[in-house]
Amino acid sequence: MSRRADEQSLLSSSDNVYQSTADDFSNINYDPYSSSAAAQSQPMPHRIGLLDAANEGSALLQYDSMLNAADTAAGNGGGGGAGIPATAASHASTNSVRLPTVAAAGAGAAAGPGSSSATASTLWTSSLHQNQPNIHQRMLQNALAVDAPASSGTAASSSSSGLRSSFAHSPELVLHDDAAAGEGILRAVVSGRVGGGGAGSDVIGGGRSGLRRLSSLTASAAPANAPNVSLTLQRAKERDEQERLEEEADEQLEENDENLKDISSQRETKLRYQDFSTIDWMRDHARDQQRQRQLRRDRLPGWKGKLQSANDGCQGWLLMFLVGLIAGFVAGVADVATDWLGDIKLGVCSNAFYLNHEFCCWAAAEGQCTAWKTWADFHNLDGAAAYWGNYLVYICFAILFALLSGTFVKFFAPYAAGSGIPQVKTILGGFVIRKFLGIWTLVTKLIGLTLSSSAGLSLGKEGPFVHIVCAIGNICSRIFAKYRKNEAKKREVLSAAAAAGVSVAFGAPVGGVLFSLEEVSYYFPYKTMWRAFFCALTAATVLRYMNPFLNGRSSLFAVDYDEHWRLFEIIPFALLGVFGGLFGAAFIRVNARWCAFRKSSALGKYPIYEIVAIAFITAAVNYLNPYQRNSTSSLIRELFSICGPEDKRDVCNDDLIGETIGLLFLSAAFRMIITVFTFGLKLPAGLFVPSMAIGACTGRILGIAMQQIVNANPDLFELSCGAKPESCIIPGLYAMVGAAAVLGGVTRMTVSLVVIMFELTGGLSYVLPFMTAVLVSKWVGDAFSREGIYDRHIRLNGYPFLDNKEEFRHTTLACDVMYPQKGDSPLCVLPVFGNTVGQLERLLEETVYQGFPVVFTTETMHVAGYVARSELKIALEKARKHHDVTEFTTCSFSHRTAASGNTSEMISLRHCLDASPIQIAEHTTTEMTLELFRKLGLRYALVCSYGQLVGIITKKDLLKHMAILQHRDPGSILFN
């Protein structure tokens, strides 16, 4: 055992605390592990300077150097302070931190043997003045005084007499620091008369004999009216015994650490984060850095070491390739199955029942396919009977598919309901939702999405593909340990998987990467962007190779435009943007209110009945309108297409313009209404395709109208359209711009949406129309509310998500947010020493807190760290397995030993302790606190007042505070 550790135990074991009068020692903040620079920078009128050797948080502040100097002085036969270098003494005299009411004893040049020195005395534990009302419980305890040599006896005498003249009213604590020499000299001068108030001075010898003499002088120098002097320093006389005990305790702790080494590694294989809790981004990042350092330390020499490094570096790319490969294959299978089931409602291929309508009639001319039979044809029905027979079968199949989809979700995986994007966005923000990305959810979502899309409901499968591919990424990440054991690293995989989901939905890999960056990802480093692009590219390539739509493209409604748009068309494009913004704002508000009503009413208890009712209404209306009878994706493809000279479709027939506009208007109006009730059902349902269908119908109507205006007034548009006004306007382009405008108004996507749309068109010349419509749509929508549909559903479900786009405009402080507030139960903290296994286990059983602040003592409340609930629980379980542990076995959160007690049976829990938690002052603004949580991904922050722990702020506390300020229910936040 080193002497430094011995002296540290000597002072730290006696609670190096101080107390003072309200006037002389106000606002003092003392931390036994703080540095001198930090302590001297405290904003207090009377400072106590402390110097730290920056080694293990030494509580004695270079005290070992002081003892060495004192030992040297004793060995040279000098006075009490002789032997200290002159440079240190002169430097100390100019760098003292002293109280303003007392002049410190001067320090002169170094003196040889026999020289006089200044007075040195000790602080006793007592009340300073019994006639002063504002006195704390105790004064500074166990301070040691070693004075620098004075230049002459006269100077020492005058200094001590000057001190005595001020002793009656004010104490002083002076720190002399020689940073250059690495020496710290701590001088403590205390009020009172040494030796009964004589005019002379007493000298304390150097070395350990000086310590013992100092203890005896303390008892003899106390005035008659003072309480008994603290006897803590008498432990110096028992130094040898204390050293032996502490060595044995340290050996026991080292043995415990060896036995518990696997705690820090084994806990990684378990669930470190409970369900509905928040991950610790900073700690997970630190753990990954530690893993990389360990990998470099254990690296083998030569080519084997290079192979190890290459293996670790290639795991991320291999995982991205695997996720993209599976995502492309799954998307292709889902597209084929959805088309086949969707066509089953209308008929079946007589030659091969497993073929959909397009594959069945691939070789036949349009309108001459004899292999495809409607259900009425099988029963030889014609006329009205055939129409109503097919109508009835259509409705029955729609209800059956919707019912099966809802049943699968209800009984196998409730998390498969909805689009999944709000939950994915929350998970990428650091929230833990167990089983949401599991294998059962993946299978149920895939089957349910195929059935619900085939039912003809006003929903799409493009949005849920983000959830599906993220589930694939989560499952595949279990193959590699560095992603399986680290939640922050796993979210990099999920960000790339989200990009691949959009890539297979629209055949837009670049748009998928931008969608992940703009809309769903919370943390998106540079390397993740490249891996996301690689994953999205792999998925799009596999899907295009499968060619599920028989068009050589990755999307059903991909088109190729060769015509150019005219400048005057910017005005109708902007009008489409206005419409998209207005519809988006209205849809978000109405849908949120309906979903809130569904949750709070009896309707939410019967989701299957609601699904059947919506499916019946949708199928009954869709069959009556030829533009809605087929799938929504087929409608969008038809509206996006360009009309050729020999095109006989109704949408391109000039003789049916009025009827076409009327049917498109009815289709758009019905989808606007029914989508409000469909989005939020307890089955897989996306919002991309219904929004695009509404915009495409509106845009096609406006495009047809503009085409008729130009054809009727060729002279007016001759400058822009030239000699062929009939080919000047492209109604399909208006449909695409309208689809982008409505989708942007609903989701508030901007850049990623523009890129997705021009990837669909295959040309960059249409970027400006898309940008115009999307920007106008967002401006109009933001004028009513800045939340998109996914952000609103995050808030509706109570997920703890801190949106980076949300502004905080209030002037509250951290003390207004923290727990506890007035009326709350006290903050639950754990001391470093004094805990038993039984106490900690009962604490885990009786409380639901996700972690506990650890303090040095409950009296000082100085922060030692923070321990998470899950890690503490795992550590206790492992300790019981490896040791004969009882409920009375003591536990320590430090590698230091306790001052007293049977330390041989102590269990070390220091591996569970986060020794560097984020701490903020109680007067920190909430805006700054919010930014810390957003930028650093904090799980919690400890609130301190002048070094003392007063509270804790979690993400839940911030969200509750923001909800209260916005006049919302704070109890709706879903948080364990």
913: pLDDT strictly greater than 80: yes
Confidence of residue 160 (pLDDT cuts 50, 70, 90): very low
What's the pLDDT score for residue 391? 94
**d(C-alpha 754, C-alpha 466), whole Å:** 18
| 546 compared with 362, residue with greater pLDDT | 546
**d(C-alpha 488, C-alpha 48), whole Å:** 42
- Given the candidates 1.10.3210.10, 3.20.20.80, 1.10.30.50, 1.10.3080.10, the CATH classification of the domain at 320-364+371-546 is 1.10.3080.10
Cross-sheet strand order for the sheet of 863-868: 830-831, 851-855, 863-868, 913-914
Cα–Cα–Cα angle for 592, 596, 597, rounded to 5 degrees:
115
Weakest-pLDDT range from 17-31, 264-278, 442-456: 17-31
List Cβ neighbours of 566 (8 Å cut-off, separation of 6 or more). Answer: 717, 720, 721, 728
What's the pLDDT score for residue 8? 45
Domain boundaries, the chain: 320-364+371-546, 568-787, 814-966
Confidence of residue 902 (pLDDT cuts 50, 70, 90): low
Neighbouring C-beta atoms of residue 631, cutoff 10 Å = 23
pLDDT digits (tens, 9 = 90+) for 215-253: 444 444 444 444 444 444 444 445 555 565 556 555 555
**Averaged pLDDT, 591-606:** 91
Instruction: For residue 293, give both structure tokens.
Output: 């350092």
At 235 the three-state DSSP class reads helix
What's the pLDDT score for residue 499? 94
Q: 890-892 and 835-836 as β-strands: parallel, antiparallel, unpaired?
A: antiparallel
Neighbouring C-beta atoms of residue 749, cutoff 10 Å = 25
610: pLDDT strictly greater than 50: yes
Neighbouring C-beta atoms of residue 15, cutoff 10 Å = 17
Confidence of residue 265 (pLDDT cuts 50, 70, 90): very low
In residues, how long is the chain?
976
Under 8 Å between Cβ of 495 and 530: no
Under 8 Å between Cβ of 742 and 692: yes
List Cβ neighbours of 68 (8 Å cut-off, separation of 6 or more). Answer: none
- Given the candidates 3.40.630.30, 3.40.50.10470, 3.40.50.620, 1.10.3080.10, the CATH classification of the domain at 568-787 is 1.10.3080.10
**Averaged pLDDT, 401-426:** 93
Query: 814-966 adopts what CATH topology?
Result: CBS-domain (3.10.580)
Q: Shortest CA distance to 782 belongs to which of 568, 582, 646, 604?
A: 582
Instruction: For residue 199, give both structure tokens.
Output: 């005019």
Amino acid, res. 730 = I
**Averaged pLDDT, 601-612:** 91
881: pLDDT strictly greater than 50: yes
182 DSSP 8-state letter: T
What's the pLDDT score for residue 35? 39
**Bridge partners of 188?**
173
Torsion angles phi and psi, residue 228, rounded to 5: -60, 140
11: pLDDT strictly greater than 70: no
**d(C-alpha 471, C-alpha 21), whole Å:** 63
Instruction: For residue 161, give both structure tokens.
Output: 């007499």
Under 8 Å between Cβ of 734 and 561: no
pLDDT digits (tens, 9 = 90+) for 854-866: 999 999 999 999 9
Confidence of residue 975 (pLDDT cuts 50, 70, 90): low
Q: 948-954 and 940-945 as β-strands: parallel, antiparallel, unpaired?
A: antiparallel
pTM of the model: 0.72
Weakest-pLDDT range from 246-255, 360-369, 464-473, 560-569: 246-255
132: pLDDT strictly greater than 50: no
215-224, 529-538, 711-720: range with highest mean pLDDT: 529-538
Under 8 Å between Cβ of 206 and 69: yes
% of the chain residues with pLDDT over 70: 69
Phi-psi region at 195: left, alpha or beta (left = phi > 0; alpha = psi -120 to 50): left
What's the pLDDT score for residue 264? 43
445: pLDDT strictly greater than 70: yes
Under 8 Å between Cβ of 689 and 459: yes
What's the pLDDT score for residue 561? 73
pLDDT digits (tens, 9 = 90+) for 66-96: 444 444 444 444 444 333 333 333 333 333 3
List Cβ neighbours of 729 (8 Å cut-off, separation of 6 or more). Answer: 569, 703, 706, 707, 710
Cross-sheet strand order for the sheet of 940-945: 919-921, 940-945, 948-954
Secondary-structure breakdown of the chain: helix, strand, coil percentages, each rounded to the nearest 5: 55, 5, 35
List b or e across 202-228, with b for residues whose CB sees 16 or more CB atoms inside 10 angstroms. bbbbbbbebbbbbbebbeebbeeeeee
- How many Cα atoms occupy the beta-carbon half-sphere of 847 within 13 Å? 19
**Averaged pLDDT, 710-719:** 85
**d(C-alpha 71, C-alpha 62), whole Å:** 15
Confidence of residue 362 (pLDDT cuts 50, 70, 90): confident
Amino acid, res. 876 = L
475: pLDDT strictly greater than 60: yes
Q: Shortest CA distance to 334 belongs to which of 543, 500, 498, 535?
A: 543
Confidence of residue 653 (pLDDT cuts 50, 70, 90): confident
pLDDT digits (tens, 9 = 90+) for 740-785: 999 999 999 999 999 998 888 776 788 899 999 999 999 999 999 8
| 340 compared with 561, residue with greater pLDDT | 340
Instruction: For residue 146, give both structure tokens.
Output: 């070693």
What's the pLDDT score for residue 634? 87
Weakest-pLDDT range from 100-109, 298-307, 963-972: 100-109
Topology alike, domains 320-364+371-546 and 814-966: no
335: pLDDT strictly greater than 70: yes
pLDDT digits (tens, 9 = 90+) for 776-810: 999 999 999 888 999 999 988 888 888 887 888 88
- How many Cα atoms occupy the beta-carbon half-sphere of 553 within 13 Å? 16
Amino acid, res. 754 = V
Q: Measured on CA atoms in the order 873, 875, 878, 884, is the torsion positive or negative?
A: negative
| 467 compared with 240, residue with greater pLDDT | 467
At 658 the three-state DSSP class reads helix
What's the pLDDT score for residue 313? 87
Residue carrying structure tokens 């009786």: 846
> What mean pLDDT, rounded, does the chain reach?
75
175 DSSP 8-state letter: E
List Cβ neighbours of 266 (8 Å cut-off, separation of 6 or more). Answer: 874, 878
Residue carrying structure tokens 């008929």: 347
